[in-house]
Amino acid sequence: MKPAGVVAGAVGLTLTLAVAVAAQQAPAPAPRTPPASPSAPAAEEPPPAVVAPPPPVITAPTPVPIEPIPDEKPAAKVKAAPAKPVEPQKRVRAGWAIIQALDKVTAETLRFEVKVGESVRYKSLVFTVRACESAAPDETEPESAAYVLVDSSPKPQPGRPAPPTRQVFKGWMFASSPGLNPLQHPVYDAWLIACKAA
């Protein structure tokens, strides 16, 4: 009968040889990869690299030579014909002028008519009317105006020579504005009332 130590050594040697033979015959195991987790996303391939387009090539414009402008006379401007003006209507000529006179000393007033081209005496004044006209129909404001000459001609006194006649007023009198061109006299005052048709 063999001792136990020898038997154990033989068994160990047998096992060692068996393992060595198996290692030579068995293929090399594949490297272990961890199992894919069902919740983990699949590995994606990296996106391709984006290549930026080259910048556009800007070329400077070709300079255009400036040609000198020839000295020419500008074309004559054609003037438009002016619009035909509207002819104003003529003022109405009257044959008589109505004048009112005032004696500042006695406060006496008198209204009288003077025919155009004739003269009328009021005390020491002589009124001569050269023209009397009223506003035209196209005028907005009614107006009457008379061209009057006023002479101071006192009556001669018995036994005395007649005093010389002198003109005290000459011009237009306006019915609507008696103070525009008034008669300047120390004793008498007079103004135009209206023009009267013949």
The predicted pLDDT at position 99 comes to: 95
The pLDDT tens digits for 166-181 are 999 999 999 988 888 8
The predicted pLDDT at position 29 comes to: 54
Report how far residue 161's alpha carbon sits from residue 154's, in angstroms, rounded to the nearest whole number.
11
Q: Which two tokens stand for residue 168?
A: 């005290």
> From the CB of residue 144, how many other CB atoms can be counted at a distance below 10 Å?
22
Tell me the pTM: 0.53
The predicted pLDDT at position 148 comes to: 96
Indicate the burial class of 189 (C-beta count within 10 angstroms; 0-12, 13-18, 19 or more).
Answer: middle
The predicted pLDDT at position 28 comes to: 53
The pLDDT tens digits for 33-66 are 555 555 555 556 666 766 667 777 777 677 777 7
Torsion over CA: 188, 193, 195, 198 (sign) = negative
The predicted pLDDT at position 111 comes to: 95
- What residues of the chain score a pLDDT lower than 50? 1-2, 4-7, 11
* Residues in Cβ contact with 144 at an 8 Å cutoff, skipping those fewer than 6 apart: 94, 132, 133, 134, 135, 174, 175, 176, 192, 194, 195
The predicted pLDDT at position 104 comes to: 93
The predicted pLDDT at position 92 comes to: 83
What ranges do the domains of the chain cover? Answer: 92-196
The predicted pLDDT at position 6 comes to: 47
